[in-house]
Amino acid sequence: MQAYRVHHKSTRFAEAWENALESSIDVLEGEARRRALKEDRDALLMFLLRGLRSKVYGDKRKLEHSGENGTPIQIDSKTTALSVSLEDIELVHQLLNGERLKLSIPTSGGGAVTSERAGG
C-alpha cells in the first residue's frame, strides 16, 4: 500500500516505477516470443500481454453507434421504457414449462378472443 501512495506523490518515484514496469514487460514479451516459437502452447502469456500491452496485443476492433451521417443517436425515454405485465410473465412461464398457453387478445369492440395451444 505504501508504494502506491509514494507513486502518486513523487514524480521521481513514479518515473522509476513506470521504467521498472516497462522493463518487466519487456522480459515477459521476450519470454512469450521464446515460448511461442518453441512450445506454441502458452495462452496465459498472451493473455498477460494483451492486458499489459493492449496497444500492441489487444483487440483492435472498435464498435461505435451513431445516428444518420454520424450524428449522435437521439433517445426518447418515453419510447425506450420496457413495460412487462403480469400476464406477459405468466405466458413466458407457461412457455418455459411446456404448459398450454392461454391467450386472450383484446378486440376493438371491447371483448376478447381467447385461444389455447400447447407450449414448449
Rounded-to-integer distance, Cα 26 and Cα 95, Å:
56
pLDDT at 58: 83
Instruction: Report phi then psi at 26, rounded to 5.
Output: -60, -45
Q: Which residues contact 7 (CB under 8 A, 6 or more apart)?
A: 13, 14, 17
pLDDT at 79 over 60: no
Structure confidence by residue, pLDDT tens digits, 30-70: 887 787 777 766 777 777 778 778 888 887 777 777 878 88
- % of the chain surpassing 90 pLDDT: 0
Cross-strand partners of 114: 104
CB 52 within 8 A of CB 25: yes
State which H helix or E strand residue 107 sits in: none
Whole-Å CA distances, 34 to 30, 45, 46, 98, 111:
6, 11, 12, 56, 76
Position 94 confidence tier, pLDDT thresholds 50, 70, 90: confident
